[in-house]
Chains A and B, each alone.
Chain A
């Protein structure tokens, strides 16, 4: 059985009320949703709240899920709306706080990297690189940031990103191009 059809079985079971099937879907997609929310700029609590609300909304609305997009795309669409709404509601963040938050995010990444590889020099470089990239991402407009994360980190296809963000693949390409240009400018110090 292909992974896609196995997932559709779980979706159908959950639609008919099978909570265990839904729990499997939550575990399969939730951690990536949480990562996306954090990388979009939500703090830990905001990200957790947005993911919970998106998943509970998915449960309520499963009977209306027509399967025209993938289940993952549908979940990310529910999440993206909530994350963007949360960021809009937030008071303007002073630049210093943004940098501080991104440094914290970099620290957690460095801790993760230290598990993955034992080379201290490599870990230190990756720590700095991820910190710099987190900071650069936070400087992007929200749509460009979402396009870049969904493409480069979540590895979605252009049409999936378009479905997630409620736009067209052409618009996704444009936003991605601008995001890459700006990130390259901001990472110039690493030349």
Chain B
């Protein structure tokens, strides 16, 4: 076995080979499917929000809180701020208040960010909720200011 000159060179060569092994094996597809099935079953804590009033037949429409949170999270994730926490306050499945913990990027004005955040939140509420539902008040709390460069790997 004289193909490599030193044990160090042999280890380096074997390590390179290990690193270049294909990662996406056939078994991985089954694993990821199983993980996501379990994730869907677990979900996130949270109930449903009713949209509009019952119709003449007593039928109701609702949307899960996780859907609303996802929409809000995406709307609030701008270059200058993002939501750290979104709390939906409900009363009898009606959205009565939204509380947002906002993280600002360094050098962003808190007032402007809070105003932008409220506007974005209310736009989502108008899209999702029924016209007859009053728009909820939106509390914004700035909880952190971060340097965007610190997020680079």
Among A9, A56, A130, A188, the residue within 8 A (CB) of B14 is A130
Instruction: List chain A positions with a Cβ less than 8 A from chain B.
Output: 2-5, 8-9, 12-13, 16-19, 22-23, 26-27, 30-32, 34-35, 39, 44, 48, 51-52, 55-56, 59-60, 70, 108-109, 112-113, 115-116, 125-126, 128-130, 132-133, 152-153, 155, 180, 183-185, 187-191
Q: Is B7 an interface residue (CB 8 A)?
A: yes
Q: Mark B23-54, 1 if CB is under 8 A from A, else 0.
A: 11101101110111011101110100000000
Contact A52 B151 (CB under 8 A): no
- Which A residues touch B2, using CB under 8 A? 191
Among A13, A26, A60, A180, the residue within 8 A (CB) of B74 is A13
Which chain B residues (81-113) contact chain A, with CB distance < 8 Å? Answer: 82-84, 86
**Chain B residues with a Cβ closer than 8 Å to the other chain, count:** 53
Contact B31 A30 (CB under 8 A): yes
Contact B7 A191 (CB under 8 A): yes
Q: Is B10 an interface residue (CB 8 A)?
A: yes
Q: Cα distance A44–B69 when bound, in Å?
A: 38
Contact A8 B151 (CB under 8 A): yes
Determine the residue in chain A with the shortest Cβ distance to B38. Answer: A56
Q: Is B3 an interface residue (CB 8 A)?
A: yes
- Name the distance in Å between B100's Cβ and chain A's nearest Cβ: 11
Q: Cα distance A109–B14 when bound, in Å?
A: 10
- Which B residues touch A51, using CB under 8 A? 31
- Which A residues touch B77, using CB under 8 A? 9, 12-13
Among A4, A34, A132, A189, the residue within 8 A (CB) of B151 is A4
Q: Cα distance A126–B16 when bound, in Å?
A: 10
Determine the residue in chain B with the shortest Cβ distance to A129. Answer: B14
Contact A190 B3 (CB under 8 A): yes
Q: Is B148 an interface residue (CB 8 A)?
A: yes
Do A12 and B82 contact each other (CB < 8 Å), given the known contacts A59-B42, A116-B20? yes
Contact A27 B32 (CB under 8 A): yes
Q: Mark B4-20, 1 if CB is under 8 A from A, else 0.
A: 11111011011101111
Q: Give 12 CB contacts A-B under 8 Å.
A: A16-B69, A22-B36, A22-B39, A30-B28, A52-B38, A129-B4, A129-B17, A130-B18, A133-B10, A184-B11, A188-B7, A191-B7
- Which A residues touch B82, using CB under 8 A? 9, 12
* Closest 8 pairs between A and B when the two form their complex, measured CB to CB: A17-B66, A31-B23, A190-B10, A17-B44, A187-B7, A133-B14, A129-B14, A4-B153
Of the listed residues B44, B66, B86, the one surrounded by the most CB atoms of chain A closer than 10 A to its CB is B44
Among A2, A153, A180, the residue within 8 A (CB) of B19 is A153
